[in-house]
Amino acid sequence: MHEPVLLEEVLVGLAVKPGGHYIDGTLGGGGHARAILEQAGPKGRLLGIDRDPHALALAQARLADLPNATLARGNFSEMKTLAQQHGLGGVDGVLLDIGVSSMQLDTPERGFSFQADAPLDMRMDPDIPRSAADWANQISESDLADVLWRFGEERASRRIARFIVEARQRAPIRTTSELAELVVRAKGGQRGRIHPATQTFQALRVAVNNELGALEEGIESALSLLKSGGRLAVISFHSLEDRIVKQRMAAHVGRRESLEAGGERWIVSPPRVKWIVKTPAMAGETEMKRNPRARSARLRVVERID
């Protein structure tokens, strides 16, 4: 079962209150959702969204005793429509805990991990048309290099793209092991502790699931759903995501600049949010030891003020 990261920090960051209405846009195993609902009490309400039907089924079982949880399959980028469909207007808090869950990573046939040999899939929503194998076999060498560079920050992106294109001319790439072995060869073997295919797998996953596009839209949707005083908490797991979270949130924070002629003016006007957690909160030693996933987790929180 997926262990929720930064749980205490999320509950404090969202300032969960009895009777409050919340949206968990990344329900996963329902760990955060359960804790939010328990704190919101019998009059509270939570809409839990996930694009993965397997995650929804698991969360449904985990939250079965909580009648005030409503679960919906969908992309959190469409949170506004989903909230309307389920009769939620302004809400007191939204949580996005992005990325993959332990269940997704640990189910070999989902194809997210190079630790097990399985079809190269990586779709969080199994109904989206292109799997990671489709991406690896169909896009041009330069687009592939671009994806590896932009979404994986992979320095050997061109070399890996060339190896992939040469290999697929002989036979299509079908499995996680085939891709991992190709990357290891392209990078000249494994040197450090981190597997050489880590960034390639991250890049393909981000591309397949349009993770960064969904994140940008999700933040905007969430902010538009918050009541005044409502809070948005986002947990990210790598620098690309955290940069987007920081920039999208900062774009709505009020800031003043001094004028040469004296006085000040708002740069962002009118400000829609204020920072609650600007410097990202990170897990403490104990949590990191207990849950290695927590090592790279970063939490930022803003509050709607208009």
Ligand X SMILES: C[S@@+](CC[C@H](N)C(=O)[O-])C[C@H]1O[C@@H](n2cnc3c(N)ncnc32)[C@H](O)[C@@H]1O
243-302: contacts with ligand X (CB under 6 A) = none
Nearest to 59 by CA among 35, 42, 77, 82: 35
Q: Where are the alpha helices (DSSP H) in the chain?
A: 7-14, 31-40, 53-62, 79-85, 102-105, 132-138, 141-152, 157-170, 176-186, 198-208, 211-225, 239-250, 285-290
C-alpha 45 chain-centroid distance: 23
Q: Which is nearer to ligand X, 152 or 196 (CB)?
A: 152
Write down the residue that tokens 């070399």 correspond to.
159
Separation of alpha carbons 93 and 25, rounded Å? 11
Q: Which is nearer to ligand X, 78 or 92 (CB)?
A: 78
Q: How many residues bind ligand X (CB under 6 A)?
A: 23
Q: Which is nearer to ligand X, 50 or 121 (CB)?
A: 50
Q: Which is nearer to ligand X, 55 or 197 (CB)?
A: 55
Q: Which is nearer to ligand X, 156 or 233 (CB)?
A: 233
Separation of alpha carbons 126 and 169, rounded Å? 27
Q: Are 134 and 164 in contact (CB under 8 A)?
A: no
- Only one of the segments 39-47, 48-56, 135-143, 159-167 lies at the binding site for ligand X (rule: CB under 6 A); that segment is 48-56
Which single residue brings its beta carbon nearest to ligand X?
28
Q: Which of 99, 111, 152, 230: binder of ligand X (CB under 6 A)?
A: 99
Write the binding mask 179 to 218 for ligand X: x where contact by CB under 6 A, - elsewhere. Answer: -----------------------------------x----
Separation of alpha carbons 125 and 304, rounded Å? 31
Shortest distance in whole angstroms from residue 106 CB to ligand X: 12
Shortest distance in whole angstroms from residue 224 CB to ligand X: 16
Q: Are 73 and 50 in contact (CB under 8 A)?
A: yes
Q: Which is nearer to ligand X, 101 or 157 (CB)?
A: 101
**Does 93 sit near ligand X (CB under 6 A)?**
no
Half-sphere exposure of 293 (CA within 13 A, CB side): 18
Separation of alpha carbons 55 and 30, rounded Å? 8
**Does 135 sit near ligand X (CB under 6 A)?**
no
Say which DSSP state 20 is in: -
**Does 51 sit near ligand X (CB under 6 A)?**
yes
15-44: contacts with ligand X (CB under 6 A) = 25-26, 28-32
* List of long-range contacts for 269-275, beta carbons under 8 Å, 24+ apart: 270/306, 271/305, 271/306, 272/223, 272/304, 272/305, 272/306, 273/223, 273/232, 273/249, 273/302, 273/303, 273/304, 273/305, 274/302, 274/303, 274/305, 275/249, 275/301, 275/302
Shortest distance in whole angstroms from residue 76 CB to ligand X: 4
**Does 168 sit near ligand X (CB under 6 A)?**
no
Write down the residue that tokens 């001094």 correspond to.
258
**Does 55 sit near ligand X (CB under 6 A)?**
yes
Q: Which is nearer to ligand X, 178 or 242 (CB)?
A: 242
Q: Which of 22, 75, 252, 302: binder of ligand X (CB under 6 A)?
A: 75
Q: Which is nearer to ligand X, 52 or 92 (CB)?
A: 52
Residue ranges in contact with ligand X by CB under 6 A: 2, 4, 25-26, 28-32, 49-52, 55, 75-77, 97-99, 101, 124, 214
